[in-house]
Amino acid sequence: MSAVSRGLISRIHLLGTRRLFSSSSTAEIYHENGLTQRIVEAKTRVMTPSSKRTGAIAFKCGMTALWDKWGARIPITVLSMDDNIVTQVKTPEKEGIVALQVGCGHKKEKHLTKPEVGHFRAQGVPLKRKLREFPVTEDALLPVGTSIGVRHFLPGQFVDVTGISRGKGFQGCIKRHNFKGLPASHGHSKSHRSGGSTGQRDAPGKVFKGKKMAGRMGGKQVTVKNIWVYKVDPARNLIWVKGQVDSSFSFYLPFFLKLFYAK
């Protein structure tokens, strides 16, 4: 067993000891004088193929591989959803848009600004580490305080996952843009991996903006579309998706639900 697999197993084992969360219409409202609880009765809505449900926020635990019944190897990325809660509902009457603000994780009050703490107190939700806004349709609105668990997704669905790619630092044009480089012989010396000519001749005699050259590689927001949800694990709040996701370990990733039904 490789070191990566052992590290992934240890991380999943630690996640199994955390408090479990599940999707329900029960909203917990936190006040300064203590914890109170209220029950929100969600209205029955009929979802249509044009309905757009909210996404969620998760962090990357690592990668592993599974084998299906035909013996084909499937690369798997394990994502963990850390206590996702609806923190704000935006409507056309007030904010001019239809969206849900979702928060995840936990953060101490001393590590938040006063406006952030005031926002959470006004909404009556616990302090969250990350916030992300997801545009939805009106028939997919959820009340403030609704917990979003892994049961919000089903195996077979397709999601779009957004993350920050791993930074590679300053790299040359061969690694950064897949240039083939200059010839290895026939008069070339000390320039085998250079980018070659950049400014053409006397006309135009300049380097155009956006020219592919050496520079900082990685560390940018990347969205991987149509990732297949392979499996959900409600016991440990894990989602197993097929393929890779651009991010380092323990980076929070907002991912969007592509379809509300399983194909």
Return the bridge partners of 100, or none: 89, 134
Looking at the DSSP assignment, which residues form a beta bridge with residue 64? Answer: 76
Answer positive or negative: Cα dihedral of 44, 48, 50, 54: positive
Taking residue 96's Cβ as centre, other Cβ atoms within 10 Å add up to: 9
Instruction: Report the distance separating Cα 212 and Cα 177, nearest Å.
Output: 7
- Tokens representing residue 150 in the block: 């892994």
183 upstream amide cis, omega within 30 of 0? no
Residue written as token pair 């907002």: 254
What is the distance between the alpha carbons of residues 107 and 2, in angstroms, rounded to a whole number?
A: 33
Greatest Cα pair distance, the chain, in angstroms, is 80
Single pTM value for the model: 0.73
* Per-position pLDDT tens, the chain of length 263: 554 455 555 555 544 444 333 334 444 444 444 444 444 444 566 778 788 889 999 888 889 999 989 999 999 999 998 889 999 999 999 989 999 999 998 999 999 999 999 999 999 999 999 899 999 998 889 999 999 999 999 999 899 988 888 899 999 999 999 999 899 988 888 889 998 888 888 888 889 999 999 999 998 888 888 899 999 999 999 999 999 888 776 556 666 554 333 33
DSSP state of 177: H
- CATH placement of domain 3-154+229-245: 3.30.160.810
